Amino acid sequence: MAEYRYRDALRRALYEEMKADERVFIMGEDVGAYGGAYQVTVGLLAEFGEERVRDTPLSEAIIVGAALGAAMVGGRPVAEIMYVDFAALAMDQIVNQAAKIHYMFGGQFRVPMVLRTQQGTGRGAGAQHSQSLESWFVHVPGLKVIAPATPRDAYGLLRAAIHDDNPVIFLEHKGLYAVKGEVEDEPFVLPIGQAEVKRQGQDVTIITYSRMLGLALEVAEQLTSQGVSAEVVDLRTLKPLDYATLEESARKTRRVVVLHEAVKIGGLGAEISAELSQRLFGVLAAPIVRIGAEDVPLPANLELEKLVIPDAQRLTAAVEAVMRYQPMPTNGA
């Protein structure tokens, strides 16, 4: 095992895949000489040259469209959109083309394309550079969506995404790039569509992903002083969702809190809550609680930004609420 920063684990995955397969190439704004907006691709231009590390025009539609075309004719592009907010400029290419082509051409074409992009708060980047928009992509049949929270998961899942023959949206949180964690020395690939229990517990399940994993683990540790044993499940892959792992944990604890940084309204937490409520009707001891960002544009002021997104106080209050929940008495009780 060796310690890697999140960004360095991503770079290692890209390097190993490009070494192993000449069809793999990188493209995007400033991915070459500059090394990427968050320094993920530093050094790859010198190693692989301009044919395989391609700086593109400042056009998200061109980036995705060119990557799509390359994937259809045998390439395995890893395209980067600097901020997920800018994916709005390429949604036709992503939603109506990349996600649909394999189906609409009767399987004659595959689209082994990875779209790396970053999202999330923590830098005061404002309303147009800080959103968490994973639900946009999860809603689209034909796309896979990955949001790793640790360097190890980032490495193993990026390699898996590059191997996959389907278009994959790979979401990296801007607040995670400097986070350190251990990664095995030997190359490995993690399975897409498999959640992981990051912390065992007995009383309540906290389901989360991306940067909110750190918050969930922190609060879970603090809750031990109150005699509450919290289990923390990291989704890792947002589509396909690993409902088997989620259901197993929820059956054990009978109480569930779903936590994400994205806006609560229409967020992934609503889908998870609905599905688990249907599967476990009569099993759960309390209604599932969802926590997400407030329904407002994200402020550029860091202190105001903190007020919008979930924090330890809100998560702790949610766990306490499900722990003390008492159902309303029925008529005549």
- Residue 65 CB: number of other CB atoms within 10 A? 18
Residue 12 contacts by C-beta under 8 Å, 6 or more apart in sequence? Answer: 4, 155, 183
Alpha-carbon radius of gyration of the chain: 20
- Residue 34 CB: number of other CB atoms within 10 A? 13
Buried b (16+ CB within 10 A) or exposed e, 321-332: ebbeeeeeeeee
Kindly write down the DSSP assignment for every residue of 233-247, as one continuous string. Answer: EE--EEES--HHHHH
Whether the Cβ atoms of residue 281 and residue 287 lie closer than 8 Å to each other = no
d(CA 172, CA 170): 7
Active site includes 129?
A: yes
Whether the Cβ atoms of residue 181 and residue 231 lie closer than 8 Å to each other = no
Whether the Cβ atoms of residue 151 and residue 142 lie closer than 8 Å to each other = no
CA dihedral 84, 89, 93, 98 (to 10 degrees): 10
- Give 263's strand partners: 293
User: What are the tokens at 7?
Assistant: 């960004």
CA dihedral sign of residues 176, 139, 270, 257:
negative
Active site includes 260?
A: no
Task: Point out the catalytic residue in the list 17, 60, 134, 231.
Answer: 60
Task: Point out the catalytic residue in the list 17, 29, 80, 129.
Answer: 129
Selection from 207, 187, 188, 185 nearest residue 196 by Cα? 207
Buried b (16+ CB within 10 A) or exposed e, 203-228: bbbbbbbbbbbbbbbebbeebeeeeb
Q: Which residues are catalytic?
A: 60, 129
